[in-house]
Amino acid sequence: MGDEEKFDAVVVGAGPAGTAAAIIMAKAGLQVALLERGAKPGSKNVMGGILYNHYLEEIVGEDWKQAPLERPIIEERRWLMTPEAAIGIDYKNLRNRQHPHSYSVLRARFDAWFAEQAEKAGAMVVPETVVDRLIVKDGRVVGVGTGRGDDLYAEVTIVCEGIGLGSGLLESTVIAGRPLRRKLRADEVAMAVKEIMQLDPGLIEERFNCDPGEGCTIECFGDSTMGMSGFMFIYTNRDTLSVGGGALLSEFNKTLRTPNDLMEHFKSHPAIKPLLRGAETVEYLAHLIPEGGYRGIPKVSGPGYLVCGDAAMLSNPVHREGSNLAMESGRLAGETVVHAKEVGDFSERRLAEYRGRLDHSWIMADTRRCHCSSTTRSC
């Protein structure tokens, strides 16, 4: 595809951040290509599994009610564990029955539906497309090269590919002698692991003391992570449980433990084992999540590009703010590109408005505030 056929925007990654950006831009009439490396959106994506519907509603309006959500979260539990016991604090808000503010979700279902909303808005969703490089011309990102051998050009490229350790588009792209993001250290990244376990809905409600159709979360600290900084969780879905957790990659390296060691240790705890009895693991997932805090956020805009979601190191695991930070940053990036299109100015200075939008949003207010994360690191 030549420059004369270029898009207004190419979005790399059809997770919550990329799809949110694509929807906002496509609704405004922009020509948008949303690229996904998996066979379909959601097939390569992982998160714990809690979504706050307010941020989804800001993007798709009342259509959020049609999303494939699992269970509204009525009760949240925090357990502090020793090897043989657990003490907990529970919070149950019965008003959430009428007006739920969070739901459990499964990414394979949700991301596919979310991408459909982008298509309905007018975006072109292209699965099974690996972006292997950002195309730089005269010091500006002008598009992407794909594993298909086709180059796609755009006024703006929005990078929403998640994170890796030195293998991402941002680390491998150099402008003015510098990579768009330095390589991350092992203590700035957490390894998260998750199993989806099939269980009868009635047993879920009985064991977790939930009314029919309602759900709860259990988040466990202390011995649950074998002495590593982090936490483990169980989230109730319709007919499955999301069981998982994580710790800093540097601690896995130091202790020589594996994510599977962590999962088996947690599942065998005497407070957890009865909850999982008879459940069958139907999916096993692992994922890197950012843990660099506010100081770890890279430059999120530059000549011809914007960065959203995990790729921008936006994460707050303790408050389950991964997908919500992703969607909100995607929305703000989309609005930035829409404004640039309206004024006919895609300059680096114009795209820098994205950082200003982030700074004036709850995203940076929350991230800037020093707090203990899942790895007890401050921002």
Q: What one-character DSSP code corresponds to residue 307?
A: E
Q: CA distances (Å), 242 to each of 161, 174, 285, in order?
A: 23, 39, 10
Query: What is the dihedral sign for C-alpha 9, 18, 371, 101?
Result: positive
Q: Which domains, and CATH codes, for the chain? A: 3-64+107-182+298-368 (3.50.50.60), 72-100+187-290 (3.30.9.90)
The secondary structure element, H or E, covering residue 90 is strand 86-92
Number of other CB atoms surrounding residue 160 within 10 Å: 29
Predicted local confidence at residue 79, as pLDDT? 97
Is the model's pLDDT at 29 over the cut of 60? yes
- Which residues, at least 6 apart from 161, have a Cβ–Cβ distance to it below 8 Å? 12, 13, 131, 168, 169, 311
Residue 44 predicted with pLDDT over 70: no
Phi/psi region, residue 366 (left: phi>0; alpha: psi -120 to 50; beta: rest), is alpha
pLDDT band of residue 319 (cuts 50, 70, 90) is: low
pTM of the model: 0.93
Taking CA atoms, 272 is separated from 84, 154, 208, 289, in Å, by 11, 50, 11, 25
pLDDT over 90 (residue 120): yes
pLDDT of 372 strictly over 60: no
Q: Which two tokens stand for residue 113?
A: 């539906």
Q: How many other C-beta atoms are found inside a 10 Å radius of the C-beta of residue 351?
A: 24
Confidence of residue 46 (pLDDT cuts 50, 70, 90): low
pLDDT for 96 equals: 82
Alpha carbon dihedral 242, 374, 257, 235, in 10-degree steps, equals -10
DSSP character string of 180-234:
SSPPPPGGGEEEEEEEEEE--HHHHHHHTT--TT-EEEEEEEEGGGTTSSEEEEE
Residue 91's beta-bridge partner residues?
76
**Residue 65 CB burial class (10 angstroms; 0-12, 13-18, ≥19):** exposed
One-letter identity of residue 159: V
SS3 (DSSP) at 327: helix
d(C-alpha 295, C-alpha 119), whole Å: 36
The answer to which of 57-66, 266-275, 361-370 has the lowest mean pLDDT is 361-370
| Rounded Cα distance, 214 and 377, in Å | 33
Q: Is residue 375's pLDDT more than 80?
A: no
Section 77-104 average pLDDT? 92
3-state secondary structure of 378: coil
The answer to whether 366 and 318 are in contact (CB under 8 A) is: no
SS3 293: coil
The predicted-structure confidence for 179-231, as pLDDT tens digits, reads as follows 999 999 999 999 999 999 999 999 999 999 999 999 999 999 999 999 998 89
Contact 240, 197 (CB under 8 A): yes
**Cα separation, 73 vs 360, whole angstroms:** 29
Rounded Cα–Cα distance for residues 351 and 303 (Å): 8
User: Is pLDDT above 70 for 106?
Assistant: yes
Q: Average pLDDT in the 363-369 region?
A: 78
Alpha helix stretches (DSSP H) within the chain:
16-27, 53-60, 107-121, 169-172, 201-207, 249-255, 259-267, 273-276, 322-343, 348-351, 353-359, 362-368
